[in-house]
Amino acid sequence: MKVAGQKLIANVTGQRSRTTWGVNLAMELARTGTRISGLALGPTLMLASAFVIAFCQVSLAQGDADLEAPGLAPFATPASPQPTLFQNVRIFDGRSAALSAPSNVLVRGNTIARISSGPITMEADANVRVIAANGRVLMPGLIDAHWHAFMAATPQMLLMTADPNYLDLLAARQAAATLMRGFTTIRDLGGPVFGLKRAIDEGVTAGPRIFPSGAFISQTSGHGDFRFSFEVPRVTGGPLSHSEMEGIAAIADSPDEVRLRAREQLRQGASQIKLMGGGGVASPYNPIESTQYTEPEIRAAVEAADNWGTYVTIHAYTPRAIQQAVAAGVKCIEHGQLIDEPTAKLLADNGIWWSLQPFMDDENASPLVNPVSQKKAQEVFAGTENAYRLAKKYKIKTAFGTDILFDARVAGRQGAILARMVHWYTPAEALKMATADNGELMALSGFINPYPGKLGVVEEGALADLLLVDGNPLENIKLVEDPDKNFLVIMKDGTVYKDTVPK
């Protein structure tokens, strides 16, 4: 009984197997059955056993999740991609500081099937796409560990006022641009992206893999409280503010409310929980020095996440905010530019991830209109140098992320921000951070990881997210600044999204 039911689920959740006539019929029945559930259960149970099993699975188990099954989407789930053979590449595998000897790499389905320094021969009828790379560099797709797919390129005022459907279309367009910059995975640290992620995964629109957090959870007056002053006070259980209804923020005070909001994000498919644990730059109602939440409140989110096999990551700049988060069981710190030496040591001793961004007062900074925010930004910029120094000194597990907000021009500089990392690291170290290391951080989502498999590395069995670079980024990291010109092939999940290799 279970086996047949699982087969159906596997087919409708985008495993890319061919949809069979039987499954279609079962789906149709399931759909009809769901509609008439409670009215016509008796006659339905008279049907052939496989279909009854499918019906039970769908109508009784999952609630509205099944009404939204991908098989009912307007576009067909893409069939398994054509195999691809990269001939004569030198590989940056995501870890090593040197390129491999000339090699051949075969991608089958959505994984790297074989890597060989000798020739890889294929059956004559294998229908393989052969890419003659001529000694160019093959590397893992880039990963941005702190991204906001909904908000990166859209001005703040528009986000607060425009039609949500319009904003979703803007986000979809930016998601395609993100993939075309060679970022094949992003960890989304706040914003309504569950629908966007689904549309990308189903092939409805192009974009990176998304590890979503859903709404970021903030206390009243915290970094995620974007309410206008006339919306306060709110009584407990009162109407939601605009950014809460949009799914950008979830305002919660007390351990019980934090637990509820965390579980709501997990229910919608969050792969990790994002909490606001201290003052921030772009939010007007909290000093940068403020500590937000109390240890029991943070721990409530940590427990909810831990029960789902995943973790909490927290926005925190100051030593006090970071220390409180670590004491509550948080596994990753976002930003942390105002850290001090003992707190850096604390991160190292506890194996805490540090998701750090090269925030500087330059052309890569997100625009801020509010003078209070501008002043706070200056404090953060001033801390960046020290933060990277301490991250290196204590060998803290460091992730690369950009955290671009509200500006399409800066979003277009995502790769340039990675190239900026050579201020502190060698090109190989910076690229390792944005591939293999970030891939390790993605895996922290445990059994709810939406993309099980290895990310950020070129090795047999890993997920096939690959870039073919015209030049050697280990010698010249600036190549990633101009992806249009220098990334000749962009592959995600075994599918080629770009191929401009001269034929």
Stretch that binds Zn ion, among 108-116, 182-190, 375-383, 414-422 (CB under 5 A): 182-190
Q: Residue 124: CA atoms inside 13 Å, Cβ hemisphere, count? A: 0
Site string for Zn ion, 378-417 (x = CB under 5 A): -------------------------x--------------
Specify the residue, 103 or 355, whose C-beta has the smaller distance to Zn ion.
355
User: Please, which of residues 80-109 interact with Zn ion by CB under 5 A?
Assistant: none
Instruction: Write down the least CB distance from residue 148 to Zn ion, Å.
Output: 6
Candidates 283, 266, 313, 282; CA nearest to 145 is 313
With b meaning 16 or more CB within 10 Å and e meaning fewer, what string describes 388-404?
bebbeebebbbbbbbbb
**216 vs 388, beta carbon nearer Zn ion:** 216
At which residue do the structure tokens 């000749």 appear?
488
From CA 472, how far away is CA 92, in angstroms rounded?
9
- Is residue 144 at the binding interface for Zn ion, with CB under 5 A as the rule? no
Nearest approach in angstroms of CB 411 to Zn ion is 13
Residue 352's nearest CA partner among 383, 329, 376 is 329
Complex with Zn ion: residue 104 or 337, whichever CB lies closer: 337
Q: Which is nearer to Zn ion, 244 or 470 (CB)?
A: 244
Query: 11 or 292: whose CB is closer to Zn ion?
Result: 292
Cβ pair 189, 353 in contact under 8 A: no
| Residue whose pair of structure tokens reads 């500590």 in the numeric block | 291
Neighbours of 425 (CB within 10 A): 18
| Three-class SS state of 342 | helix
CA 28 to chain centre: 33
User: Which of the ranges 32-40, 86-94, 104-112, 189-197 carries the binding residues for Zn ion, by CB under 5 A?
Assistant: 189-197
Closest CA to 287 of 338, 222, 339: 222
**CB-based closest residue to Zn ion:** 403
Minimum CB distance to Zn ion smaller for 23 or for 189 = 189
CB 216 to Zn ion: min, Å: 8
Which position has the token pair 């098989």?
Answer: 71
Q: Which is nearer to Zn ion, 204 or 276 (CB)?
A: 276
Q: Please give the angle made by the CA atoms of 158, 164 and 165, to the nearest 5 degrees.
A: 120
Min dist CB 481 to Zn ion, Å, is 22
Q: How far is the CB of 146 from Zn ion (least distance, A)?
A: 6
CB of 150 to Zn ion, least distance (A): 11
State the residues that interact with Zn ion by CB under 5 A: 189, 403
